[in-house]
Amino acid sequence: MTFAQKLPVSILGAALIALGTGQIAQAVLLVESESAVVNLDAKEVLFTIDFNRVPDFFTVDQAGRQADSFQYYVEADGEFPIFRGSPFFSELESIIRGEEINVAGDIRIRDVFSVGPLEPNSGGWGKIRGSVPYSLDGTVLKFSAPLQFIGDSDGLFSYQLLLTEFGGSSDSVENKSTIASVAEPNFALGALTFGALSVGLRRKRKHKLAPSPVNQYDSVKA
């Protein structure tokens, strides 16, 4: 089934989730455009997502799931498909968790595999590698993170960006990072304004919205 065929099913699912959680149904959360632009001099990467509507990261349901959320699955070798090998997540390097914004107001980056007892709010993933602030200007979200946090060294990595609504998948995009052509004196500050790097935003291919094994893993392990 194509993405276009799956979309009405996704919208219906989002509406049912909203009714079940007592929330007012609104347009399903989608990615209009997104990018991951690396500044090699600063060894940082700027992530940008332009949503189709303003996201709600702070309303949660009885299970603690955010009304709107996102999660990046980072593959440091830059290969596709993102999920391959055994165990299923063995090729991933790190998880970027927009799902934890409601906890402390920042974006946490975690190891893939947990060692010992699960940490609260981890979704079943590993320990926190670091956390970073974000900015949200209307529908556009931006945050920058050290390459060390995501487990990459050369700035060339692949990733899947997954959007969810109360734990249910609403959109998914796969892409690769790009290297910034213009160095910024202070990337951590300049990145939030994005400036000339905004030309790096471009539409990437969509993927089927069938129930994701990754999303099921979150639900089971949370």
AA letter at 118: L
Per-residue model confidence (pLDDT) at position 90? 87
Q: Which of 21-25, 41-45, 154-158, 195-199 has the lowest mean pLDDT?
A: 195-199
Q: How far apart are CA 206 and CA 216, in angstroms?
A: 20
**67-86 pLDDT tens trace:** 999 999 999 999 999 998 77
Buried residues in 169-190 as b, exposed as e (16+ CB within 10 A): bbbbbbbebbebeeebeebbeb
- Provide the whole-model pTM: 0.75
Q: What are phi and psi of 31, to 5 degrees?
A: -95, 120
Name the residue among 164, 173, 140, 186 with its Cα closest to residue 44. Answer: 186
How far apart are alpha carbons 184 and 178 in whole angstroms?
Answer: 15
Are 93 and 147 spatial neighbours (Cβ–Cβ below 8 Å)? Answer: no
Least reliable range by pLDDT among 7-11, 65-69, 116-120, 157-161:
7-11
Asked if pLDDT for residue 170 goes beyond 80, the answer is yes
Q: For 26-79, write each residue's pLDDT tens digit.
A: 899 999 999 999 999 999 999 999 999 999 999 999 999 999 999 999 999 999
List residues bridging with 37 in a β-sheet.
46, 178
